Structure 1
Amino acid sequence: MNRCLSILIGPALLTLASSAQAAPVCGDFLAQIGNKPAYIEFLECHAEPELQTKPLRATYRLAGRDAQAAERYLDEQFQMPPLRRSCCVWDAPPGFYRDPRSQLGYSLFMGSAETFVDRREAWGDIDYFYLTIDLDTEEP
């Protein structure tokens, strides 16, 4: 009897264990995904449980002189739209990336703080641009 139960229950437990995914963990998402440029500095990661998809939010910064390279990298890797000037900041609509290995969804946003710089060629005059990556822990 015990042998019959173990034969029936064993495969069911193995199937359940293999289909369960570990909960996402806060961290340097760009490093986890791969190909993170050295000029993008990881600052912190924290949970945002009050937002709709309860994301884990990683924050990065990069020098203004590296913003054009970062913009190209984010376009190539994550199809993030180019930055544009609006009012007194440089920013872009968020990009979205689904990791083909983990199937986790990431939203990416890059922008500057308020600045008088109004030409792309002068981005080097901006101290820092900031990159935010949200890892959705709940699908919308």
Structure 2
Amino acid sequence: MLLPLAAIAHSEVKAPLGAMAEWEAHGRAEGLARPDTPCQDFLAALGRKPDSLHYLGCDKDDDSYLKPMTARYAVSGAAAAEVEVYLRQRFDMPSLVYVCCGWGSEPHAWREGPDGVRYDIGMGVESPSFPREHWDRIPSFGVTVGVLRQSP
């Protein structure tokens, strides 16, 4: 059975309102991003993006149960140590360590206050084992900042 256009329009309005009500009731406390949050440069939106970090784009997966969004960034090897220190100071991200095949941070989440969005922040690169003093030999490091819009 087909619904009349008025019923379809009405049901489309209810879904977002229901999603917002669910977010207000539970999602905010769980650190989820609002359901209407756009995929974007999250660090710039927070007013916390260093100049040497270049925004590459944002990936959004509405088909996944958790509805993740991940902003991707790049920083030159020459500026990577500066960005690592910045992310450690501003977001408490752990220091990068070299394991097996590259430099990387342990999984880390950051929230600004109990009602803030939980941001998953990471940095790393697959590379030969250059010591920190020679990171300028590495073309670029990647940084990701992700949010979830639905709880498990």
Runs of 4+ in 1 over 6 A off after TM superposition: none
- Could you say what the CA RMSD is over the residues aligned between the two structures, in angstroms? 2.2
Alignment partners' CA distance in 1, 2:64 and 2:130: 32
**Aligned residue type for 2:80:** A
Aligned pair 1:98/2:111, yes or no? Answer: yes
What is the match of residue 31 of structure 2? Answer: none
Aligned residue for 2:58, secondary structure, equals strand
Q: 2:98 aligns with which of 63, 69, 85?
A: 85
Q: How many residues align?
A: 122
The equivalent residue for 1:54 is: 67
Letter in 2 for 1:97: W
Aligned-partner residue type, residue 74 of structure 2: R
Q: Using a 3 Å threshold, how does the CA distance of structure 1 residues 52 and 68 change in structure 2: closer, same or farther?
A: farther
Q: TM-score if structure 1 supplies the norm length?
A: 0.77
Q: 2:148 aligns with which of 115, 123, 136?
A: 136
Structure 2 equivalent of residue 120 of structure 1: 132
1:7-33 superposed Cα distances (whole Å, 9 cap, x missing partner): xxxxxxxxx8xx696622110000011
Of the three residues 74, 85, 102, the one matched with 1:72 is 85
- Name structure 1 gaps, 5 residues minimum: 1-15
Indicate how the Cα distance of structure 1 residues 84 and 57 shifts in structure 2: closer, same or farther if over 3 A, else same. same
Q: Which has the larger radius of gyration?
A: 1
Q: Which runs of 5+ in 2 are unaligned?
A: 1-20, 26-33
Identity of aligned residues (%): 33
TM, length-normalised to structure 2: 0.71
